[in-house]
Amino acid sequence: MSLLKIAALGTPVLRMRTQELTIEQLQSEPIQRLIDDMVATMRDAPGVGLAANQVYLPLRLAVVEVQAGDDQDSRERVPLTVLVNPRIARLSDATESAWEGCLSIPDLRGVVPRATEVDVEALDRAGNPVTIHASGFFARVLQHEIDHLDGYIYLDRMPDLTTLTYVKEFERYWLPASSAS
Which residue numbers are catalytic? 145
CB 63 within 8 A of CB 42: yes
